[in-house]
Structure 1
Amino acid sequence: MQKTSVLLLLFLNISIYAQTNFNSETLKVTRADLELNVYEKDSTANALVLHEYGNSYIDNNDYSLITEEKRKIKILNREGFNKANVTIYLQKSDDRKEKVKNIVATTYNLVDGKVTVTKLSDTHIFEEEYNDDFTLVKFTLPNIKEGSVINYSYTLQSPFKFNYQGWSFQSDIPKLYSEYNTSIPANYEYNIKLVGGKKLFKNDQKIKRNCLYGGNGAHADCTISSYAMKDIPAFIEEDYMTSKYNFLARIEYELKVFKGFDGRINNYTKTWKTTDREFRTDKDIGKQLSKSIDLEDFVSHTVITEKDTYKKADAIYKHVQENYTWNGDYKIFSDVSVKNLIKNKSGNVSSINILLHNLLKEADIDVKPVLISTRDHGFPTKIYPVISDFNYLIVQATIDDKTYLLDATDEYLSFGEIPLRCLNSYGRLMDFKKGSEWVDLKPSTLTTIQFRAELNMGENDNITGSVKSKKTGYHALDSRKSYHQNNDAYLTNLEDKYPNIEISNHEVTNEGKTNPDFLEAYDIEYNWDDTGDNIYLNPFFTSFFKENPFKLQERSYPIDFGYKRTYYYMLKINFDDSYTVLEQPENLRFTLPNNKGSVHFSNVIIDNAINIMLKISFEDAIYPAEYYPYLKAFMSKIVDIQTNSLILLKKK
């Protein structure tokens, strides 16, 4: 019996090992790779990178940057078929362009116990023009089935060495092994940045002598580096996050210094002091910011002579908002022209906000431009200047020792409010006298929803009442846009949100597209299910969160709401002596760790009235990844309160 138990245990161990024994060591496709169709560490994975390899070096003949890429991918199910579609982006400029060669792609299948091999034909490789900066080369591996293993490789040849070829260790599917090797000559000095916070399994460097040759016997040594990661989880995007490129595990390069064999030295990465000087004299933004402008051509004499600085600034801000339209273009370092904006009444981000800057400056208001990167563009590098990291420009105004961030591209923004797309942690304030500095990008007002309702139980069990709501901050901005763009559609959408409610006498009780608050009031009739003498009411006929937005098992990147937020819900239900309350929800109170958020739910019966109160507070705009399980549970409780709270009234 003991021998049998030992053998059985050994068999089970072998079986478990075999179920996970993909070949991640090499690019060779094994029978186990084909037989296995489950990745136990992530049962939701549709495909799995078993092994990938990259190698970049400077060619000795023409000094181009050569990159070899090789991948082996397991297709686990039909949803993973898209991983057989490969797109290669080739950069180009006016007189230079990248090339791809040596494309080899093979599909392996297991059919009736035999391994079949299908190779990609050259006739199925296609090239297309993508835009002014890129050409695409595309191919799809043939004969893809559930359980296929694909293997492909190619070589990139690039004349662009400013950004040495980077490498992404992480993608939207898990990877067992990813390795990247580089050979960088001593005359190329790069800033090297590891992004994503994941640890390297391999990080080796050595020196290779005389790896690159120049004329007249000149030569350079090379730093040979090898980086690798193992068992890399898939990166899954979820609500409340900034650009995924802030968090994807990868390595990036930017040329810092080039030393030619002829003795010349080119410094590419500069200090902010040098960048500030160049920025001030730049032919686009710098030149436009220095343009003088006649204030009388834009605003009335009343505005010009206004003694209240805030009112004057607000009037100038509204003039730009109302008279110039953003064309949707994010270009901030090209096609910047205040003159063309004034002529055409439409322009890009920089043109509109530089006009605002210049008008405020002409009115003797302290203003400075702020370079930022929008939420979907990624965080700008703080260690050294990377101007291409920025894609947006706003204005900072200082009035009576208080600073306001301004963006005139949106006609619904109130003074001191910037769009959610701009709330990306920090930006660079360009002060041409004292030098630029980093500034925080934070909302100037609180974002809240206050919802107050009173219902009355009438004759024939009719339930009618009234609602008043107040929204501030970004909740108010969203409602202002929806209402003023199409108030009929706004009301229809409001009614669709509350299927058990009929709305009448709706009105918005404050005026203006840029009013920082949004106030509305309306009457309602509540339709409930008739169940004889009993009346079941869910007191939440409006819901702040219909479902939990957090569904991942774990999340490795921060939860970024963009701004702090608070929700209030207050409901009073009046009933007469013909009813009695049989059941009511439980009172609940819970908080996030360190009091970073709270939920307070209570219901109290006073005389012939039920008073319901729900308050939800998020005390931070951004929560580190460690808070994810707590926020997930927090949201789950909120959804449960709003969907499963019932009041049972019975006729006497």
Structure 2
Amino acid sequence: MKKLLLTLLFATVYIAVHAEKPPIKFGKVSKEELAMTVYEPDTSAAAVVLCKYGRFYANEYKFSRIERIKVFKKAGTKYAEFVLPGREDDTFRGRTYNLVDGEIEVTKLKRESIFKERVSDRYYRYRVALPNVKVGSVFEIESSSSGLPTEWAFQRGIPVKWCEIILEESSYINFRKKMVGYESITSPSSNRFIAKNIPAFKSESYMNSKNNYITKFEFDILSINVPGYYESFTTSWEAVNDRLMEHDRFGASLKSSSLYITDIKKEIENKNLEPLEKAKAAYEAIKSIKWNNEAWIFSSQENLNKAFKEKVGNSTDINFLLLQLFRKLDIEAYPVVISTRRNGILNPFYPSYEKLNYTLVSAVINEKEYLLDATEKELCFGMLPSRCLNNNGRVVTNQKGKWVDIKPQFKKQESVLYDLKLDKELNLVGEINYSRSGYAGYNFRQDYKEYAGDEDYLTSLEGKYSGLIIKDFTIKNIEDNDKPLQDKYTVKLSNKVERINDIIMLNPFLLEKISDNPFKLEERKYPVDFAYCRNKYLVSKITIPDDFIVSEIPKPIKIIFPDKSVSVQVMHQHMANTLTTIYKFNINKVMFLPEEYEYLKAVYEQIIKKHAEPIILKPNTDAASL
């Protein structure tokens, strides 16, 4: 098909764009570039993109790109490792330049430093590592690929001095270009686009994906129409739906024989369960199949028998097996295609087949819709992993399909209880109890399974917190995802209480103390996305010896946003020899707009301030006189 298409394109009348001299030529690196020690517009930059240039040759249906980067600091050497999307027959060449004794030393990219992996039926991922890159190096990479790339980024995590793309016009290739991001781009002509002195994109905590916010073009081929040949691609989301249903590893895979799950179906039916419990039983049965950590919109094979028998498969293998089992049990179910958080948000107004990279399951039970992912054993029924919490998805049907909102059905809820005593050596001894539900339980179970056992886990925990000695440990409901996970520790904490002369400073937050603000930017142009709501509740109860008295207790604080989306409360109580600190921190909505950023940042500053304030103790002179 590709050879036919190229032949037809060559036979067409080529509409040429005015010839512009490329801003960069491969192999032409100057000593001035190598002698650079800093990028003046951003002296903190570890590296800078000196020039990035791309061109789409419409008559050849080919795209070429070249990128040149200068390294200033050791941290900048990581940019010599490229991960590039492309087609099966992409070509690459690269060079690294170093100034040695006043002369330019050239090291060429070798074939064995180029790694290729398939990510879809039409696209591949290339990993390229440039050689001999160090502080002071200039390196460049040039590539050529058939077709048009899915995107062209003008911005990176380092500054970009010059970025240019030329998109030659053709009356036979119809494609859409969508602008994303906040930085300005100039257009000297209808086909030429230039970005100059683009600042580095600053990623920060609680960001959905930088792919939603960096300055770039996103492309989609809509159709190719040359004499004797026509093919339509993503003209509408309905067309995307039809294309998926016609694909041999999507629609055909769903329709393939599913006799291999008949025994599971009979086993579940024999239990005479209600519809929701029946669905949960099916969900748990499919979760026994191990996910191979490959996220793909398509199944690995047209027939799912291999994945079922070998008990391992990619994300779509597993979720298609769940869908097939649901349908055998007469549960209404459909595939839902999405773009994961890291991949960027789907836009209802810009249909994109190439943007889809993951498949979920929609099940309708008792007139309620559940979105499900069976790839991880630690997930509750109706809970999606954070990678899938990305605004929306498309239900794929034999008709037109439809949009579905993807909203987290669970919160991250964590309660902590300290019940400790301060001894005369200023150690804190006693118990710490946690109760974790929703995403708090899921996250703990995910982390806990990576340890070889309790001893390995506790050793890691003691290494994380200086002065912590764990004498005993119990855990409940580690295998029951529907119940709160409860972990209990008998501990001794040293070096957590500070003494200056007769003054004792005791911080009641201990292991839960927040000392770093996740929000550091002066201005944030993109939203804060917490993925799911969060509730934290801490009760710290500390009994002090008779020979100490409380001299000073920090003042309480209570903060509530007008829309009640955020609330913080810290209060301290003192009764007899017992100090009780209560801390509540609730985030009740998932996304905050850029104009709300300064208020979130200020809230964390207040929390950090309150968490740093100690309770002051002093000797009890009355007790000493007795």
Q: Give the TM interval when normalised to the shorter protein.
A: 0.7 to 0.9
Structure 1 residues 90-239: aligned runs within 5 Å: 91-93=86-88, 97-99=89-91, 118=104, 120=106, 124-128=108-112, 129-132=114-117, 133=124, 146=136, 157-158=144-145, 160-161=146-147, 163=148, 166-200=151-185, 202-205=186-189, 224-239=190-205
Q: Secondary structure at the match of 2:510?
A: coil
**Structure 1 residues 127 and 543 mapped into 2: Cα distance closer, same or farther (>3 Å)?**
same
The yes-or-no answer on 1:571 pairing with 2:540 is yes
The match for 1:211 is none
> How far, CA to CA, are the matches of 1:463 and 1:99 in structure 2?
63
Structure 2 length-normalised TM: 0.81
Structure 1 length-normalised TM: 0.78
The yes-or-no answer on 1:584 pairing with 2:558 is no
Contact 1:414 1:516 in 2 (8 A): no
Q: Secondary structure at the match of 2:488?
A: strand
1:63-85 deviation per Cα after TM superposition (whole angstroms, max 9, x unaligned) = 342536475x55545554666x5
The yes-or-no answer on 1:248 pairing with 2:214 is yes
Cα offset for 1:603? Answer: 1.0
- AA matched with 1:254: D
The yes-or-no answer on 1:65 pairing with 2:62 is yes
The match for 2:466 is 499
1:7-27 deviation per Cα after TM superposition (whole angstroms, max 9, x unaligned) = xxxxxxxxxxxxxxxxxx977
Structure 1 residues 553-632: aligned runs within 5 Å: 553-575=522-544, 578-591=547-560, 595-632=564-601
> Greater shift after overlay, 420-429 or 132-141?
132-141
Q: Secondary structure at the match of 2:459?
A: helix
Structure 1 residues 520-535: aligned runs within 5 Å: 520-527=487-494, 528=497, 534-535=503-504
Cα offset for 1:87? Answer: 6.1
**Structure 1 residues 531 and 251 mapped into 2: Cα distance closer, same or farther (>3 Å)?**
closer
Cα offset for 1:36? Answer: 7.2
Cα offset for 1:373? Answer: 2.3
The match for 1:400 is 366
Cα offset for 1:451? Answer: 0.8
Please point out which of 455, 475, 484 is paired with 2:420.
455
- AA matched with 2:160: K
The yes-or-no answer on 1:283 pairing with 2:269 is no
**Structure 1 residues 362 and 385 mapped into 2: Cα distance closer, same or farther (>3 Å)?**
same
Q: Secondary structure at the match of 1:562?
A: coil
The yes-or-no answer on 1:350 pairing with 2:347 is no
Contact 2:334 2:361 in 1 (8 A): yes
> How far, CA to CA, are the matches of 2:150 and 2:475 in structure 1?
55
The match for 1:480 is 445
Q: Secondary structure at the match of 1:131?
A: strand
Q: Secondary structure at the match of 2:168?
A: strand
**Structure 1 residues 519 and 268 mapped into 2: Cα distance closer, same or farther (>3 Å)?**
same
> Greater shift after overlay, 389-398 or 25-34?
25-34
Cα offset for 1:348? Answer: 1.9
> How far, CA to CA, are the matches of 2:125 and 2:526 in structure 1?
30
| Gap runs ≥5 in structure 1 | 1-24, 206-223
The match for 2:234 is 269
- AA matched with 1:168: A
Q: Secondary structure at the match of 1:444?
A: coil
Q: Secondary structure at the match of 2:512?
A: coil
Contact 1:67 1:165 in 2 (8 A): no
> How far, CA to CA, are the matches of 1:48 and 1:77 in structure 2?
10
**Structure 1 residues 451 and 141 mapped into 2: Cα distance closer, same or farther (>3 Å)?**
closer
Cα offset for 1:582? Answer: 0.7
How many residues are matched? 584
Contact 2:415 2:435 in 1 (8 A): yes
> How far, CA to CA, are the matches of 2:283 and 2:354 in structure 1?
28
**Structure 1 residues 55 and 363 mapped into 2: Cα distance closer, same or farther (>3 Å)?**
closer
> Greater shift after overlay, 300-309 or 368-377?
300-309
> How far, CA to CA, are the matches of 1:105 and 1:497 in structure 2?
40
- AA matched with 1:198: E
The match for 1:412 is 378
Cα offset for 1:450? Answer: 0.8
Contact 1:587 1:601 in 2 (8 A): yes
Structure number, greater radius of gyration: 1
Cα offset for 1:364? Answer: 2.3
Cα offset for 1:305? Answer: 4.5
1:563-607 deviation per Cα after TM superposition (whole angstroms, max 9, x unaligned) = 111111112233465432112223223356754323211112234
Cα offset for 1:611? Answer: 2.0
The match for 1:4 is none
> How far, CA to CA, are the matches of 1:135 and 1:460 in structure 2?
59
Q: Secondary structure at the match of 1:279?
A: helix
- AA matched with 1:48: V
1:421-471 deviation per Cα after TM superposition (whole angstroms, max 9, x unaligned) = 2222222122335x3222222221221111122334567877543333211
The yes-or-no answer on 1:512 pairing with 2:486 is no
| Gap runs ≥5 in structure 2 | 1-21, 118-123, 622-626
> How far, CA to CA, are the matches of 1:176 and 1:355 in structure 2?
49
> How far, CA to CA, are the matches of 2:295 and 2:81 in structure 1?
29
The match for 1:471 is 436
> How far, CA to CA, are the matches of 1:70 and 1:460 in structure 2?
62
